[in-house]
Amino acid sequence: MKRIAVLTSGGDAPGMNAAIRSVVRVAAAHGVETMGVQQGYAGLIAGAFTPMTVRSVGGIIGMGGTVLGSARCPEFRTEQGRRQAIAQMQAHGIEGLVVIGGGGSQTGNLMLHRMGFPVAGVASTIDNDLYGFDQTLGVDTALNTALESLDRIRSTASSHHRAFLVEVMGRDCGYLALMTAIAGGAEQVVVPEVETNPDEVARELRQAYERGKSHAIVVVAEGARYNAERMAAHFREHLDQLGFELRVTVLGHVQRGGTPTAFDRMLGTLSGAMAVELLLSGRYGYIAGWLAGKVQALPLEEVVGHKRELDPKVLQLAEVLAQ
């Protein structure tokens, strides 16, 4: 291969820029050019390619977000759209593609692979919902951001003897909420994987109040049936159940921005390097990510379309620690 392309797709994640930088510089070390694709798959279809050099990626390792941008692209879901994307790459002499992104992004990557185009992936999503990997790029930063917010909220919650519902991101995966709750010492956690009765949550908060706790915090995953808004609406109708006054904080996109942690910088760097090595060694259709204490490659076929489950033992531990 003489020229490859790299794109970021889906929700941005801290560490994406570290992965982009690694792809460009490792490729250059092998005498391979890298084209950056602007705005994800939409840019791939439009042929929005920009040459990237060792110098052009200088200074981006500590930046949040993605310098390549990201956008939704319904057109890429069609065969015609994917064929146009491949035609654009071939017209620009691009012989391989690295896709940095989560489940939806890697689904598109797999489709290109099945159409015969050489691809590799980097597992990147703060939701940590990619099957097969222990932790995806961006999770560590998002978790630490959520944890810092929780620590700050606890201070004011304790000062005013209040209960807080703190909603974190994660889509349909409760990993981020669960780990935030455990590391942050929350009294309760609500995740999509477990059906939660608001009355049971209220009972736990009441018991905490009666035990003399000065505050209570419930971490709620955005994808739960009773997210923070629905949970709060239920509690407002049954304020006598809680004991505490209630407040709601939705962390939202603050978890996706900001400076990546050292772990995410290293994970992005190592994963980006492996993605290039996969392409140059002819191992197409693989994705690099963190597994069993190191960066490893899994076939996209094994990752895409499968659901990652929460560890039931960790869920049980969260209940024990909340007492």
74 vs 21, more confident = 21
> Does the pLDDT value for residue 89 go beyond 80?
yes
Q: With cut-offs at 50, 70 and 90, classify the pLDDT of residue 247.
A: confident
The pLDDT of 101-120, averaged and rounded, is: 97
pLDDT digits (tens, 9 = 90+) for 267-285: 999 999 999 999 999 999 9
Residue type, 255: Q
Is 127 an active-site residue? yes
172 labeled part of a ligand binding site: no
The mean pLDDT of the chain is: 93
The pLDDT of 174-187, averaged and rounded, is: 94
Q: With cut-offs at 50, 70 and 90, classify the pLDDT of residue 159.
A: confident
> Does the pLDDT value for residue 322 go beyond 80?
no
222 labeled part of a ligand binding site: yes
23 labeled part of a ligand binding site: yes
- The H-assigned helical ranges of the chain are 16-29, 40-46, 79-91, 103-114, 139-160, 175-184, 198-210, 228-236, 262-280, 300-303, 312-321
> Could you please report the per-residue DSSP string of 200-211?
HHHHHHHHHHHT
pLDDT digits (tens, 9 = 90+) for 254-263: 888 889 999 9
170 labeled part of a ligand binding site: yes
236 labeled part of a ligand binding site: no
pLDDT of residue 239: 67
**13 DSSP 8-state letter:** -
105 labeled part of a ligand binding site: no
pLDDT of residue 212: 65
To 10 degrees, what angle do helices 16-29 and 262-280 make? 40
- Active-site choice (12, 127, 140, 264): 127
> Domains of the chain (ranges plus CATH)?
3-138+260-303 (3.40.50.450), 140-256 (3.40.50.460)
25 labeled part of a ligand binding site: yes
